[in-house]
Amino acid sequence: MRDDRKQFYIDFGLSGLTRMVDAGWSSGTTPLEIVAAVADWGDGAYAPTLLEDALRVLESDLSSREVDILWCAASKRSYRPDFFGVEGRAWLGRVADVCAERIRQDDPSFAVVPAGPAPAASFADEVLAEVGSVAAAVRSVEGHPHYGVPDVVRTLGRTVTDVDPDLGFRMLLRVLKAYQITIGEPRLARYQDLGERLGYDECVVEDGGIDVGTEVWADPVD
């Protein structure tokens, strides 16, 4: 569908940022320093994808609470907005500012413009079906005894339908990876095919952490 992300062999955009937050950083590193480091990857190549995702969420009607849910679930609560005294939408505004500043290092004339309609809008039904088919497993995240996050399934669905199916799919993958939810080979093959059609490098779906085996919660599809 689009080939401008083929250069990224690991997750990118907001989902890629949550990956790095979940991976852990040295003591004393601030959240915005993490953002700046991720935006700087590939000599700044990651900054536009991160900016695009942040703007698209900000242009949607997702609430700050829903943004917080996405972040906490995708990072297994490694990122807690309430720890830093900033709500989800305000946090994304800061992320966007960091990305724009990094882009201007190479292009001083760069001006932020609206992200506009999601190029992957036609994938909404397909991605929403994937979210629904793992709902039973993802609800284990909501009730996790130590890292529980409420309303994950509903918020992922809202991200798909009201923000961007592409981002919704990447956030779904991050939740599955963060909480080590086992998926079967047929489901992985579907994810790989969907990722290819969305324009990902073949490594993005399996960029570490995905657990493939027997789905004890499996739906009839698998």
- Would you say residue 21 has pLDDT above 60? yes
DSSP string, 36-54: HHHHTHHHHTTHHHHHHHH
Q: How would you classify residue 76: left for phi > 0, otherwise alpha for psi between -120 and 50, otherwise beta? A: left
In which band, very low, low, confident or very high, does the pLDDT at 215 lie, cut at 50, 70 and 90?
confident
The per-residue pLDDT for 221 is 41
Query: Could you give the CA distance from residue 136 to residue 197 in angstroms, rounded to a whole number?
Result: 26
Q: What is the pLDDT of residues 145-202, one digit of tens each?
A: 777 888 999 999 999 999 999 999 999 999 999 888 999 999 999 999 999 999 999 8
Strand partners, 211: 182
What is the chain's percent helix, strand, coil content, to nearest 5? 60, 0, 40
Kind and range of the H or E run holding 183: strand 182-183
The per-residue pLDDT for 142 is 82
Contact 170, 118 (CB under 8 A): no
By C-alpha distance, which of 202, 213, 200 is closest to 169?
A: 200
Percent of the chain residues past pLDDT 70, beyond the cut: 90
Contact 175, 152 (CB under 8 A): yes
